[in-house]
């Protein structure tokens, strides 16, 4: 611990006065982590162009040097090359600590998050910059669907939530730049507020094994990393512009990086998107446009021993929602479903009318890290997020421009973690985190709050360790404790309070009575334990087996506890339940991975047993003056999910490739012995690719996407009395849409404009045959078809 | 261990931050609900004179669990034309707010639709908005020639497509918009 100054040379001067050009420079080179001698490091004096290497003790010596200032570079296989200015005055000694874990360091850089690769024994897939650039105009949910086993829960085509192995919303943690995104992710129609253009790569970790991010990721973790900073004097950037026929819009994203060899860096990035009404195969989807503007700034200092980062991002999305999807009561829903076409079909327009969402997310983060010799790395981070969500319904008169939902969510978080990596082959990591969150529901909306005002406090502590037993066996273990506390203030209609039986169970929560409502103050605390254990075993040089067990528990989210009211977009009354407790997941997974230059194969399977699984299901109908409505209530059951994800990539020769991605998940409600609602159906994507470097790096790919109808679903259909006809009619909200098959085509070439500048031109056609289809996991499937053909041209300039 | 010390300091700072961020204990304001309709009153006055028949649906807890209380003051006479008028109130406020006035003000954005079962009556709009399209606050109801029992359903939509096919004739099929009111009364014609 005495060697606080990192990676520096400690120069000791020999007091003896020497004659010119007879001085000696000697010293030792040691490993930064464990102090071991580094053998065979090459030292080079730039001015004299002379070399020497270190001996078995890590020692070196240069003879016959002149006094004065020289520059020495030290390099070694697997190490960062170091450059040091040294003043020679007589015989000079010199001690150098070299970072010898460059391979591990690289992993940290590739994964880019605070704790390195968390998931050597989890099912992790990395999407690289090239994959993300292809989806520059799309959303996070769109790009994640490239990963086998990841699907999406959509509200139209622009609100896309990732679904990992059948689970979504609060069960999926999204980490951006080391910050856990807090953007009211509990809502099924709330998409993550992420501009994928701000990310360099994305890791998808299935299951809750990555405990450093949280103990409640029953579905998985999505980790967005910024592009790694290159430590050299450089100025570079890229611009991606794309235009597309469907939505008649464009997307423009530009970024600029300035880096210095000294370790300082600054970069900025901005994206704008503008789309009008999208189009299904046969008709225009009136009021489905999108306006999105975002930017981010990232600066800091980075060296191996220490560094800091400051990051700010802003993103505003104004998203129109299909006008025909906002209806009235159950009868209107039956009519909408039976009509099989939206009631309102107008000509194309760029106008974003009502209903719409207008969401602004701001994030600021500062972190600092420092490595201690022969010890480890300490990191401290603070972040603040402000999420402002407005949702507009179809209202009239003066209320027309007034939001029906106006929520401000503010989250402060602080966390620290300490990684002990001085023992080769064995690391420990301890982390602490705390956050304080405030939700404010503005009463000026004139609509009863769906989500109440609340304060939430979280505290987490975790311990992770891994062991490399030998070159073929790697083990990791983790344990985590989380504490969550809600302190909410919520109005309940007295009739509802009594109907839910709260007068018997929660009468102590009432703090006031106004008009026909109680003001209540629910304060709930949850203690959660999660744990993970995994093994990675190399069968031979080409194949390995990975197995992981993880236990996780998740406290209910505000929507599950407090929802109470009419949800216009769904024509239903949604009710939370104060009695809901944590859900607890036990998940086991196993993967087989085979990699050769010809064939890459990954076969992943999992079984997830969830006790007290929280779900929302229709339970009843209620008569109001607006007509009859379905009541959807949050409830708990025991559930199991089982699934298989397959990813095969076969290289026939240097031009032709073929690939397949398939996934299936089976969800079962154990308590009721029936299928779980909203489970993704079987999907298989086959692709045939041709590449030729001689033709301006030409790539092309024809893709076939087959999604089978979900034939396992719970029957939640209701008979609804239709007063106008005096008959009962079936409200079929359960039957999934039929099987569909889509063809897509991708192609691109790259032109070198100058040594440092290249231009990539891409053409992408989705749904080539303009097929009409509906997707089970699109909440607007009752009202309209999904998107028709889209032709997109994308230009990417790297400079 | 200096590191432990640093972590301790850090936790201390974080505790300070959390304390300073914790919100005050003010209670949230009660939301004054706008656009709430609790009471629909349909008054049917015989054209030739006689006793008014009043149909009423009252749902004081709005989208709460209590069902609306529906009442009909009497039976309709066969083969008779009634002048109908509709009054909407928000009785969660005191005094009750008259929503009818708001509809009259924004008449181009509202339309009522009527229907019956067992063919007990036919309807005709008796008012128009600035574009000459019906509103439906006032209407004429003509009962069937023979005695029958059935229901009368009255639906109010806001932001309907008033130019939709047959919408101005009172056909709801192509009207679109969002339903504000959907009330059904059991009525006998004698």
Residues 6+ apart with CB under 8 A from A722: A331, A334, A728, A729
B67 to chain A: nearest residue by CA? A623
Angle ∠(A740,A741,A742) on CA atoms, nearest 5: 125
Q: Tokens 């769906």 appear where?
A: A450
H or E element that contains A543: strand A543-554
Query: What is residue A329's three-state secondary structure?
Result: coil
Q: Give the ipTM of the model, two decimals please.
A: 0.84
The candidate with the shortest Cα–Cα distance to A327, out of A586, A569, A137, A579, is A569
* Contact call for residues A40 and A62 (beta carbons, < 8 A): no
pLDDT at A394 over 70: yes
- Report the pLDDT averaged over residues A611-616: 96
Q: What pLDDT was estimated at residue A51?
A: 84
pLDDT 10s digits, A630-664: 899 999 999 999 999 999 999 999 999 999 999 99
Q: Which residues of B touch A620 (CB under 8 A)?
A: none
Which of B12, B14, B20, B135 is best to mutate for the A interface (most A CBs within 10 A)?
B14
Confidence bin at A10 (pLDDT 50/70/90): very low
Q: What pLDDT was estimated at residue B110?
A: 94
Separation of alpha carbons A109 and A226, rounded Å: 10
Q: CATH number of the domain at B28-189, please?
A: 2.60.40
Confidence bin at A112 (pLDDT 50/70/90): very low
Query: What percentage of chain B has pLDDT greater than the value 70?
Result: 87
Burial A391-426 (b: 16+ CB within 10 A, else e): bbbbbbeebeebbbbbbbbbbbbbbbbbbbbbeeee
- Hey, are the CB atoms on B66 and A495 less than 8 Å from each other? yes
* Contact call for residues A744 and A768 (beta carbons, < 8 A): yes
Domains A10-100 and A225-798 share a fold: no
Chain A nearest CA to B124, separation (Å): 17
Q: Which residues of A touch B123 (CB under 8 A)?
A: none
Separation of alpha carbons A185 and A205, rounded Å: 18
Separation of alpha carbons A289 and A276, rounded Å: 4
- Report the pLDDT averaged over residues A743-765: 94
Separation of alpha carbons A160 and A133, rounded Å: 18
pLDDT at A5 over 70: no
pLDDT at A626 over 80: yes
Rounded to 5, what percent of chain B is helix, strand, coil? 15, 40, 45
Confidence bin at A111 (pLDDT 50/70/90): very low
Distances, alpha carbon A130 to alpha carbons A125, A126, A240, A763, in Å: 14, 11, 12, 15
Q: Which residue has the higher pLDDT, A99 or B167?
A: B167
* Contact call for residues A187 and A170 (beta carbons, < 8 A): no
Q: Which residue has the higher pLDDT, A392 or A109?
A: A392
Separation of alpha carbons A754 and A757, rounded Å: 5
- Hey, are the CB atoms on A380 and B10 less than 8 Å from each other? yes
* Contact call for residues B156 and B102 (beta carbons, < 8 A): no
* Contact call for residues B73 and B57 (beta carbons, < 8 A): no
| DSSP-derived secondary structure letter, A79 | S
- Report the pLDDT averaged over residues A372-383: 91
CATH of A225-798 given 2.10.109.10, 3.30.70.520, 2.40.170.20, 2.160.20.60: 2.40.170.20
* Contact call for residues B134 and B110 (beta carbons, < 8 A): no
Q: What pLDDT was estimated at residue B10?
A: 56
Strand A543-554, strand A523-538: pairing:
antiparallel
Q: Which residues of A touch B115 (CB under 8 A)?
A: 723-724
Task: List phi, psi (to 5°) of A9.
Answer: -100, 140
Domain boundaries, chain B: 28-189
Q: Is the peptide bond before A518 cis (omega within 30 degrees of 0)?
A: no
Nearest to B182 among A324, A329, A418 (CB): A329
Which of B65, B88, B135 is best to mutate for the A interface (most A CBs within 10 A)?
B65
Chain A nearest CA to B15, separation (Å): 9
Q: Which residues of A touch B35 (CB under 8 A)?
A: 395-396, 399, 446
pLDDT 10s digits, B93-140: 888 889 999 899 999 999 999 999 989 999 999 999 999 999 999 999
The candidate with the shortest Cα–Cα distance to A333, out of A730, A777, A765, A650, is A730
Terminal CA-CA length for chain B: 95
Q: What pLDDT was estimated at residue A273?
A: 97
Nearest to B30 among A434, A517, A725 (CB): A517
Q: Which residues of B touch A516 (CB under 8 A)?
A: 60-61, 92
Q: Tokens 């009631």 appear where?
A: A343
- Hey, are the CB atoms on A723 and B153 less than 8 Å from each other? yes
- Hey, are the CB atoms on A625 and B38 less than 8 Å from each other? yes
Nearest to A515 among B92, B106, B153 (CB): B92
Q: Which residue has the higher pLDDT, A76 or A392?
A: A392
Nearest to B22 among A331, A436, A453 (CB): A436
pLDDT at A41 over 90: no
Confidence bin at A481 (pLDDT 50/70/90): very high
The candidate with the shortest Cα–Cα distance to B28, out of A452, A345, A798, is A452
pLDDT at A625 over 70: yes
pLDDT 10s digits, B72-93: 999 999 999 999 999 999 988 8
Residues 6+ apart with CB under 8 A from A539: A545
Quickly name the fold that domain A10-100 has.
Answer: Immunoglobulin-like (2.60.40)
Q: What pLDDT was estimated at residue B20?
A: 47
Nearest to B33 among A329, A446, A624 (CB): A446
Beta bridge partners of B56: B41, B71
Separation of alpha carbons A661 and A646, rounded Å: 6
Residues 6+ apart with CB under 8 A from A455: A436, A437, A438, A439, A486, A487, A488, B22, B23
Q: What pLDDT was estimated at residue A290?
A: 96
Chain A nearest CA to B177, separation (Å): 6
Domain boundaries, chain A: 10-100, 225-798
pLDDT 10s digits, A667-683: 999 999 999 999 999 99
Angle ∠(A627,A629,A635) on CA atoms, nearest 5: 160
- Hey, are the CB atoms on A726 and B118 less than 8 Å from each other? yes
The candidate with the shortest Cα–Cα distance to B154, out of A702, A100, A724, A553, is A724
- Hey, are the CB atoms on A495 and B14 less than 8 Å from each other? no
Separation of alpha carbons A561 and A556, rounded Å: 7
H or E element that contains A560: helix A558-562
Nearest to B57 among A446, A625, A628 (CB): A625
Separation of alpha carbons B183 and A623, rounded Å: 10
């Amino acid at each position: 611990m005495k060697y606080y100054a990192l990676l520096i040379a400690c120069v000791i001067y020999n007091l003896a006065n020497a004659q010119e050009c007879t001085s000696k420079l000697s010293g030792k080179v040691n490993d930064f982590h464990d102090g071991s001698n580094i053998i065979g490091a090459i030292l080079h004096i730039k001015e004299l162009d002379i070399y020497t290497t270190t001996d078995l003790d890590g020692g070196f010596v240069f003879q016959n040097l002149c006094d004065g200032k020289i520059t020495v570079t030290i390099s070694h296989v697997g190490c960062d090359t170091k450059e040091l200015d040294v003043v020679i005055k007589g015989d000079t000694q010199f001690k150098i600590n070299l970072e010898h874990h460059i391979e591990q360091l690289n992993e940290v850089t590739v994964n880019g998050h605070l704790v390195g690769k968390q998931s050597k024994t989890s099912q992790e897939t990395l999407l690289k910059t090239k994959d993300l650039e292809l989806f520059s105009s799309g959303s996070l949910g769109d790009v994640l669907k490239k990963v086998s086993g990841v699907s999406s829960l959509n509200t139209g085509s622009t609100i896309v939530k990732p679904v990992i192995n059948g689970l979504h919303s609060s069960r999926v943690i999204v980490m951006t730049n080391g910050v856990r995104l807090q953007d009211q992710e509990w809502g099924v129609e709330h998409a993550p507020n992420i501009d994928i253009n701000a990310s360099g790569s994305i890791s998808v970790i299935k299951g809750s094994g990555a405990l450093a991010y949280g103990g409640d990721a029953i579905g998985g973790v999505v980790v967005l990393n910024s592009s790694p900073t290159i430590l050299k004097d450089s100025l570079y950037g890229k611009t991606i512009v794309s235009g597309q026929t469907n939505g008649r819009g464009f997307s423009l994203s530009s970024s600029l990086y300035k880096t210095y060899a000294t370790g300082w860096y600054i970069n900025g990035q901005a994206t704008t998107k503008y789309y009008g009404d999208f189009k299904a195969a046969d008709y225009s989807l009136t009021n489905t446009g999108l306006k999105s503007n975002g930017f981010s700034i990232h600066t800091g200092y980075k060296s191996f021993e220490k560094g800091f980062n400051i990051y700010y991002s802003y993103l505003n999305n104004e998203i129109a929602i299909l006008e025909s999807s906002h209806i009235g009561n159950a009868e209107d829903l039956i009519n909408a479903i039976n009509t099989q076409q939206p009631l309102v079909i107008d000509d194309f327009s760029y106008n974003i009318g009502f209903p719409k969402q207008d969401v602004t997310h701001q994030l600021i983060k500062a972190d600092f890290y420092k490595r201690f010799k022969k010890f480890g790395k300490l990191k401290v981070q603070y972040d603040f997020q402000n999420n402002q969500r407005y949702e507009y319904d179809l209202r009239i008169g003066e209320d027309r421009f007034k939001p029906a939902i106006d929520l401000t969510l503010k989250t402060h978080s602080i966390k620290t973690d300490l990684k002990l990596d001085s023992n080769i082959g064995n690391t420990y990591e301890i982390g602490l985190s705390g956050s304080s969150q405030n939700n404010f529901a503005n009463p000026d909306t004139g609509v009863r709050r769906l989500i109440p005002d609340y304060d939430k406090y979280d505290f987490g502590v975790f311990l992770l360790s891994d062991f490399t037993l030998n070159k073929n066996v790697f083990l990791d273990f983790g344990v985590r404790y989380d504490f969550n506390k809600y302190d909410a203030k919520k109005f309940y209609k007295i009739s509802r309070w009594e109907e839910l039986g709260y007068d018997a169970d929660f009468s102590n929560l009432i703090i006031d009575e106004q008009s026909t409502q109680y003001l209540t103050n629910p304060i709930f605390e949850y203690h959660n334990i999660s744990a993970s254990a995994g093994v990675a075993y190399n069968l031979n040089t080409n194949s390995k087996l990975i197995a992981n067990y993880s236990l996780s528990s998740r406290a209910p989210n505000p929507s599950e506890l407090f929802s109470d009211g009419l949800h216009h977009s769904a024509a239903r009354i949604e009710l939370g339940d104060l009695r809901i407790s944590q859900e607890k997941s036990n998940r086991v997974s196993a993967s087989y991975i085979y990699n050769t230059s010809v064939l890459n194969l990954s076969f992943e399977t999992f079984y997830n047993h969830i006790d007290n699984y929280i779900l929302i299901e229709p339970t009843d109908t209620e008569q109001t003056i607006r007509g009859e409505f379905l009541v959807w209530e949050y409830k708990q059951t025991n559930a199991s999910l089982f699934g298989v994800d397959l990813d095969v990539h076969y290289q026939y020769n240097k031009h032709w490739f073929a690939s397949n991605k398939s996934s299936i998940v089976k969800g079962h409600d154990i308590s009721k012995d029936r299928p779980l609602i909203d489970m993704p159906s079987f999907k298989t994507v086959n692709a045939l690719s041709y590449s030729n470097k001689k033709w301006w790096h030409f790539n092309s790919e024809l893709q076939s996407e087959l999604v089978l109808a979900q034939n396992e679903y719970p029957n939640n259909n209701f008979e609804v009395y239709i007063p106008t006809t005096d008959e009962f009619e079936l409200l079929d909200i359960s039957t999934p849409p039929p099987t569909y098959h889509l063809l897509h085509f991708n192609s691109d070439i790259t032109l070198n404009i100058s040594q440092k500048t290249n231009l990539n031109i891409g053409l992408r056609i989705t749904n080539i045959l303009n097929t009409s289809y509906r997707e089970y996991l699109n909440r607007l499937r009752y009202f309209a078809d999904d998107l028709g053909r889209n032709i997109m041209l994308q230009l990417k300039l790297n400079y | 261990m200096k590191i432990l010390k640093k972590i301790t300091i850090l936790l201390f700072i974080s505790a300070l931050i959390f304390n300073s961020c914790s919100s005050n204990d003010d209670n949230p304001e009660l939301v004054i609900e706008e656009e709430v309709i609790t009471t629909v009153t349909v008054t049917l006055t015989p054209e030739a004179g006689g006793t008014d028949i009043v149909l009423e649906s009252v749902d004081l807890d709005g989208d709460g669990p209590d069902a609306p209380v529906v009442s009909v003051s009497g039976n309709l006479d066969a083969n008779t034309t009634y002048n109908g008028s509709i009054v909407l109130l928000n009785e969660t406020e005191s005094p009750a707010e008259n929503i009818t006035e708001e509809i009259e003000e924004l008449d181009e954005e509202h339309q009522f639709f009527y229907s019956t079962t067992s063919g007990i009556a036919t309807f005709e709009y008796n008012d128009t908005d600035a574009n000459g399209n019906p509103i439906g606050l006032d209407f004429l109801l003509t009962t069937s020639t023979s005695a029958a029992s059935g229901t009368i359903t009255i639906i109010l939509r806001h932001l309907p497509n008033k130019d939709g096919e047959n919408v101005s004739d009172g056909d709801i099929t192509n009207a679109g918009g969002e339903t504000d009111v959907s009330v059904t009364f059991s009525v006998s014609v004698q």
